[in-house]
Amino acid sequence: MKTEKNTIDRRSFLKSTALAGGGLMIGFSWLTSAKAASANAVVAPVELSGYIKIGADGVITLMAPNPEFGQNVKTSLPMLIAEELDIDWKKIVVEQAPHDRKYGGQFTGGSNGVRSAWRSLRTAGATARQMLIEAAAQIWGVPATEITTGAGVVYHKISGKSAPYGDLAAKAATLPTPTGLTLKGVKDFKVIGTSTKNVDGVKIATGKPLFTIDIKHEGMLIAMITHAPGFGLKLKSLDDMAARKMPGIKDIFTIDTYAEGTRVGGFNATTFNNLVVVVGNSTWEVMNAKKALKTEWEPMPGAVLESTVTQRQKMEEMSKQQVNAARKDGDPEAAFKSAAKVIERTYTAPFLAHNPMEPINFFANVTADKAELAGPLQAPGMIESAISARIGIPADKIDIQLTRMGGGFGRRAYSHYAVEAAVISQKMKAPIKLVYTREDDMTGGVYRPHYTATYRAALDANNNLIGFHVRGGGVPESAVAANRFPAGAVDNYLAESWTIRSNVTVGAFRAPGSNFIGGAEQSFLDEVAEAAGKDPIEFRLELLERARTKPVGQRNDYDAERYAGVLKLVKEKSNWGQSKPGISRGVAAYFCHNSYVAQVVDLVMVKNEPVIQKVYNAVDCGVVVNPIAAANLCEGGCVDAIGNALFGEMTIKDGRPEKSNFDKYRMIRHKEAPKAIEVHFVKSEKDPTGLGEPLFPPMFGALANALYKGTKKRFYQQPFNIKERLAEGKPAV
């Protein structure tokens, strides 16, 4: 058992009876405190991020603050409260909270949902439980220390008395806030660590309204946009005469998402600020009218219409130039000069479109003095001020309801479309639903950056790694993580980073930065291990042992023992080293988002195509709250990474994205997914860390390493496009 210091004061712990039936409502600060609040009384504004409400019927309701797009936080976060509250999970009701400053940072991303809520939500549950115990003690006239709880019931075993939480909630709401709380130890968990089904699962399967596309509102119109076909272009002319005459069309006009002079950046960024808007009665009518528009576009003053080919040429030039070192240990120049063997390889990765299953959409109903908004947002708090400034309505008059996201992967953190919807509604003086087509979404920018990295390794005469050098960059970001493995494991180490400016907009993509560099690094380490004549797992373990016992430098951002732990676990679970006739195997391991992952891929080559038989995953993410949901996240990460490694690529020509739908932008198909995926979690009592993203980066490396065993060729360029390259007889390099 661990005692958690409770610094909640009386003023910040709001109390009263809840609704007509009486009850206790516990609010919790996302970072620190738990608070009891009244549903009947007028409550002074306080910084809250959600509420636990205990009704007189004993049902617990949680307002889930974090937006949900499939990572299952809407299920996992309530489990934290249920654990400490000692309640029957079947009596939990979860509701999505709207955007509100009282909920603190309502952000989904960075694999940080459970990690950030781990203590605050458990503290909220423990606070409510203690207040219920104190209420029972006063009513029964017995010491609180003699009272226990179980499955939503309070017991005094000596007297034989008991009462459900609902009977005690109103009394509990009148009591002082506990000054100290004891949180359960891991060995005492009953809810945390059990597999719990998605609370929205039935609704999703039966088509209940959870998504913005389901929204219906009296008088609602449909809006669609047309943006410039390329980066650096602006509207020259618009002929909408034919479109205006089509059935159901209400209006056609142009808007600027952000007003002239607005400083736009971060999650408020937009690729195309000037848009043509078509508004009408139905999606079908508006879509047909949109196709009838005649538009001309021209370059913006001073704009460079970039192409993937020229970008790659610039990257090749930059990769050969000496740049400022992000980290330097020892004397890498001398190490390479004296090396008996030097291995050098260059890796590249293209722009990637996010392509969530649900294209961009948003609902807005803006009137003279308020705005009602709803839609899929990863970061509602980061766009609210931009909406307010654009439509001239104070933030406290803007109501944003959060709908479930049909996938996000970072794209829905850039929520310019919420501003667009609000501007369109304000102009039309009517509620509207903005709907992007797949083409609008795919060509709309905010891509995964275009990356490259060149690795060099120096081996001495005994095949020991004595020098390591990475020089990497990209358009317009670099993915080099200077303080990650093998930094700290090599005496002579150099990391260099550079960037190339571009008007192609980029943004967070699943496991930002790591999604490229993790695979490149792990592919290279396999090649170095082969050159050294060592087993790839043992080679990595040797380096990690050095980092554990005699680390180089002080800035290593990983725990070498935990890193080695997942490698040892995946080695055991996959029976690494045992012969599997016809099977080609590859391994990789990586650390990001505070978690450690090792993977082994088993595949066979059939007619120049890989058939992935099995993927083994070993994961150290601390305590696993919901194993079935965690395993699902891992499985999804594997499949997503394989698809992007094999096929994902957005190319640009003269500033224009060359792919606008799935006929050209290749996605993974069912038959190409692994036939089996195993997920093994390291048993841990450490606080939970990230999980939605850490499975993604190493899979690129594990797959490339397995392909080398099956094809005898190394794959340095993403996408791998294996069948095409091998069939054409071109080298995989």
- Write out pLDDT tens, residues 624-647: 999 999 999 999 999 999 999 999
Whether residue 317 is contained in a domain is answered as no
Q: Are residues 479 and 609 in the same domain?
A: yes
Query: Mean per-residue pLDDT for 386-391?
Result: 96
Whether residue 483 is contained in a domain is answered as yes
Q: Can you tell me whether residue 244 is helix, strand or coil?
A: helix
* Confidence band, pLDDT 50/70/90 cuts, at residue 265: confident
| Model confidence at 55: pLDDT above 90 | no
Quick: pLDDT tens for 405-423: 999 889 999 999 999 999 9
Note the helical H segments in 261-331: 283-292, 308-319
- Residue after which a domain boundary falls, among 435, 462, 485: 435
Domain count, the chain: 3
Q: Is the omega angle on the peptide bond into residue 486 within 30 degrees of 0, that is, cis?
A: yes
Q: Are residues 397 and 491 in the same domain?
A: no
| Model confidence at 10: pLDDT above 60 | no
- Residue after which a domain boundary falls, among 181, 205, 229: 205
pLDDT of residue 729: 63
Whether residue 316 is contained in a domain is answered as no
* Confidence band, pLDDT 50/70/90 cuts, at residue 321: confident
| Model confidence at 650: pLDDT above 50 | yes
Whether residue 141 is contained in a domain is answered as yes
* Confidence band, pLDDT 50/70/90 cuts, at residue 18: very low
Q: Are residues 513 and 620 in the same domain?
A: yes
pLDDT of residue 5: 43
Q: Are residues 455 and 593 in the same domain?
A: yes
pLDDT of residue 732: 54
Contact (Cβ atoms closer than 8 angstroms) between residue 392 and residue 82: no
Q: Are residues 64 and 93 in the same domain?
A: yes
Q: Are residues 192 and 218 in the same domain?
A: no
pLDDT of residue 107: 84
Q: Which helix (H) or strand (E) holds 325?
A: strand 325-329
SS (H, E, C) 674-707: CCCEEEEECCCCCCCCCCCCCCHHHHHHHHHHHH
Q: Are residues 158 and 229 in the same domain?
A: no
Note the helical H segments in 532-626: 536-549, 560-573
Q: Are residues 399 and 461 in the same domain?
A: no
Contact (Cβ atoms closer than 8 angstroms) between residue 459 and residue 403: no
pLDDT of residue 531: 98
d(CA 435, CA 432): 10
Q: Are residues 397 and 475 in the same domain?
A: no
Quick: pLDDT tens for 280-289: 999 999 999 9
Residue 213 one-letter amino acid: I
Whether residue 83 is contained in a domain is answered as yes
| Model confidence at 462: pLDDT above 90 | yes
- Residue after which a domain boundary falls, among 184, 205, 226: 205
pLDDT of residue 40: 37
The domain spanning residue 387 has which CATH number? 3.30.365.10
Quick: pLDDT tens for 415-458: 999 999 999 999 999 999 999 999 999 999 999 999 999 999 99
For the chain, the straight-line distance linking the first and the last C-alpha, in angstroms and rounded, comes to: 56
Per the DSSP assignment, residues forming a β-bridge with 495 are: 327, 470
pLDDT of residue 51: 63
Whether residue 441 is contained in a domain is answered as no
pLDDT of residue 9: 36
* Confidence band, pLDDT 50/70/90 cuts, at residue 724: confident
Contact (Cβ atoms closer than 8 angstroms) between residue 391 and residue 259: no
Picking from 96, 128, 125, 123, the residue whose alpha carbon sits closest to that of residue 15 is 128
* Confidence band, pLDDT 50/70/90 cuts, at residue 15: very low
d(CA 248, CA 523): 56
Two structure tokens written together for 394: 């104070």
Picking from 701, 717, 319, 716, the residue whose alpha carbon sits closest to that of residue 496 is 319
* Confidence band, pLDDT 50/70/90 cuts, at residue 175: confident
d(CA 608, CA 551): 43
Query: Mean per-residue pLDDT for 246-265?
Result: 92
Contact (Cβ atoms closer than 8 angstroms) between residue 704 and residue 519: yes
What Å distances lie between residue 700 and 161, 392, 432, 693, CA to CA?
Answer: 60, 47, 42, 13
pLDDT of residue 268: 84
| Model confidence at 32: pLDDT above 60 | no
Two structure tokens written together for 557: 């951002």
Query: Mean per-residue pLDDT for 288-304?
Result: 96
Q: Are residues 385 and 251 in the same domain?
A: yes
Average pLDDT, the chain: 90
Q: Can you tell me whether residue 341 is helix, strand or coil?
A: strand
**Which residues, 6+ apart, have CB-to-CB distance to 241 below 8 Å?**
none
Contact (Cβ atoms closer than 8 angstroms) between residue 474 and residue 499: yes
* Confidence band, pLDDT 50/70/90 cuts, at residue 351: very high
Two structure tokens written together for 617: 């995953």
Phi, psi dihedrals of residue 632, rounded to the nearest 5° = -60, -40
Domain that includes residue 251, residue range: 212-302+360-435
**Which residues, 6+ apart, have CB-to-CB distance to 669 below 8 Å?**
none
Range from 42-51, 100-109, 554-563 carrying the lowest mean pLDDT = 42-51
pLDDT of residue 145: 95
Quick: pLDDT tens for 576-611: 999 889 999 999 999 999 999 999 999 999 999 999
Q: Are residues 568 and 639 in the same domain?
A: yes
Q: Are residues 110 and 242 in the same domain?
A: no
Whether residue 314 is contained in a domain is answered as no
Whether residue 308 is contained in a domain is answered as no
Q: Could you tell me what percent of the chain has a pLDDT over 70?
A: 92
DSSP code for 188: G
**Which residues, 6+ apart, have CB-to-CB distance to 579 below 8 Å?**
none
